[in-house]
Amino acid sequence: MTISELIDKQDGFEIIRDKIATILAAEIASQKALASGEGKDPDLWDVRIFTERSDAWQVWLNDQSNMSPICNVWYDGSDFPKNTGNVVKNQKSDGLFNIDLYGYGQSSDDATGGHNPGDKEAAFALHRAIRLVRNILMAAIYTYLELRGTVWRRWISSIKIFQPEFNGKAIQNVIAARIAFEVEFSEFSPQVEAETLEYISTTMRRQEDGEIVLEVDFDFSP
């Protein structure tokens, strides 16, 4: 017996990865609109969203028309506790999704004759992005990431700042952070497809030594 259906679907971790990115993109657009409505600079609420990019910051190398902070959502892996779920239909997955954020800053002179270092501006841009992403993903309306029934729980376990590198050297005026986003969810597996019973043959007879042997013949075919 083999699996009778083509496995032509997304697993839970793929759906959740894309859902995280979709939620962030939608809420960032909403925040920018709210900022504009209050007469504030919407660029201060802008974050560019990507998925599964190894070096998302490299988009700045080719196009510097938009230097807003960058967010990259990627799936790190899962553990499957044996004491939850079952061996047939669904298994509980403790998944880890990394949300990498990058801030870029350019050095400039301020209106008072002072100097704004690029590394400081990069840090401030990064911190704004962290603030937005953390508040969005931990908002009450996203307790189950709009996937109730699949997602059991979501939690930000850590936020770590790091210095991205290229060819072993730190990237000038760019600073990054990694949000470790834990999601508990169900993964589902293909099930046995039931077949219509058409025929049973059973025979019962007594052997010479007294043993009972059963023989029955049932035909359910139309």
Do the domain assignments include residue 202?
no
Do the domain assignments include residue 109?
yes
For 65-94, what is the mean pLDDT? 89
The whole domain housing 82 covers: 12-195
The residue assigned the tokens 């709009």 is 146
b/e code 56-86 from CB counts within 10 Å (16+ = b): bbeebeeeeeebbbbbbbbbeebeeeeeebe
Do the domain assignments include residue 209?
no
Q: How confident is the model at residue 2 (pLDDT cuts 50, 70, 90)?
A: confident
Do the domain assignments include residue 156?
yes
Query: Residue 167's pLDDT is what?
Result: 79
Q: How confident is the model at residue 136 (pLDDT cuts 50, 70, 90)?
A: very high
Handedness of CA 72, 78, 84, 88 (dihedral sign): positive
b/e code 119-157 from CB counts within 10 Å (16+ = b): bebbbebbbbbbebbbebbeeeebeebebeebbbebeee
Do the domain assignments include residue 206?
no
Domain count, the chain: 1
pTM of the model: 0.80
Q: How confident is the model at residue 12 (pLDDT cuts 50, 70, 90)?
A: very high
Question: pLDDT tens digit string along 189-222?
Answer: 876 555 555 555 556 566 676 666 666 565 555 6
Do the domain assignments include residue 97?
yes
Query: What's the CATH number where 127 sits?
Result: 3.30.2000.10
For 64-77, what is the mean pLDDT? 93
**Distance (Å, whole) CA 94 – CA 78:** 5
Query: Residue 188's pLDDT is what?
Result: 86
Q: How confident is the model at residue 115 (pLDDT cuts 50, 70, 90)?
A: low
Q: Does the structure show a pLDDT above 90 at 166?
A: no
Query: Residue 213's pLDDT is what?
Result: 62
Least confident of 37-46, 73-82, 141-150, 201-210: 201-210
Three-state secondary structure call for residue 181: strand
Do the domain assignments include residue 4?
no
Residue 90: count of CB within 10 angstroms of its CB:
16
Q: How confident is the model at residue 170 (pLDDT cuts 50, 70, 90)?
A: confident
Residue 201's alpha-carbon distances to 1, 38, 216, 217, in angstroms, are: 22, 79, 5, 4
Least confident of 38-47, 122-131, 185-194: 185-194
Do the domain assignments include residue 6?
no
